[in-house]
């Protein structure tokens, strides 16, 4: 396997792993996740639990898409996965800066890193 291919697969799996890391607490209703989504009530006119489960489901879907893309290596699937990842990260950044009293900087850094990765991957995939 070519070195760049191996690096790309690792990046795909790291992104998928991060999405699973964030999706699972939302889906199982971890206390920290519940508290965080209660802070979003001012910006999102949805029940905090509904929004939490929806967000966790979207993150889980992105993780699954990234894993399938890593295995099948279909450009169209990669475009969808990374478009959803970018959209979710931009949404997450908006929520961090406009809905929380104080943004969680670790989440901001991760969202920026995944956004940059998504833009990089989309640029490559669009050329295919």
List, for residues 59-102, the tens digit of each pLDDT value: 999 999 999 999 999 999 999 999 999 999 999 999 889 888 88
At residue 91, the 3 state secondary structure works out as helix
Q: What is the pLDDT of residues 33-48, one digit of tens each?
A: 998 888 887 777 889 9
Q: Which of 84, 95, 79 is nearest to 61 (CA)?
A: 84
Question: Residue 3 has what pLDDT?
Answer: 81
Closest C-alpha among 60, 55, 52, 62 to residue 29? 52
Percent of the chain with pLDDT over 90: 79
Count helices and strands (H / E) in the chain: 5, 0
Instruction: Give the pLDDT of residue 1.
Output: 64
């Amino acid at each position: 396997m070519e070195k760049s291919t191996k690096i790309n697969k690792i990046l795909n799996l790291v992104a998928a792993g991060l999405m699973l890391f964030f999706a699972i607490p939302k889906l199982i209703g971890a206390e920290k996740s519940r508290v965080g989504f209660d802070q979003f009530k001012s910006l999102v006119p949805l029940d905090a639990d509904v929004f939490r489960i929806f967000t966790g489901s979207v993150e889980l879907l992105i993780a699954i898409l990234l894993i399938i893309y890593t295995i099948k290596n279909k450009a169209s699937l990669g475009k969808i996965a990374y478009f959803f990842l970018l959209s979710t990260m931009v949404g997450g950044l908006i929520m961090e800066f406009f809905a929380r009293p104080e943004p969680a900087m670790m989440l901001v850094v991760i969202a920026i890193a995944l956004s940059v990765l998504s833009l990089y991957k989309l640029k490559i995939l669009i050329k295919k």
